[in-house]
Amino acid sequence: MDKLKKPFMILPSLALYYLFTEHVLSVNKAEGRSMEPNVKSNSILLINRLPNIKIQNNDIVIARSPYKPDLDICKRVLFGPGERVTGLGVIVPHNYVWVEGDNKEESFDSRHYGPIPI
């Protein structure tokens, strides 16, 4: 009878792991040079996934790529909703942010695809 119970003991652990990594904290690996020198390629990142966190200018965020939804991007928030993007005159819409990589020459970011949704 104990042999039958063991597989079922794994299920709650897997469910808890899934909920934790999807909604609390997860780990991701940085690939590429767009955030160097502050985030180097192959760095391991801890990602806070708690809801209702206010994103502020200068925060580093992980978001879905606007062009490749299966790809995550790591960028720095430079302008928030209602702010005018310096040099471009673009005003960031409500519930959007303007993100750019720290390594401007290697980064494909809001300068190419515009603001991204919060």
Phi-psi region of 114 (alpha: psi -120 to 50; beta: other; left: phi over 0): left
Contact yes or no for 34/103 (Cβ under 8 A): yes
Which residues are catalytic, by number?
Answer: 34, 75
In 3D space, the residue among 69, 68, 71, 64 whose CA is nearest the CA of residue 99 turns out to be: 64
Contact yes or no for 28/62 (Cβ under 8 A): yes
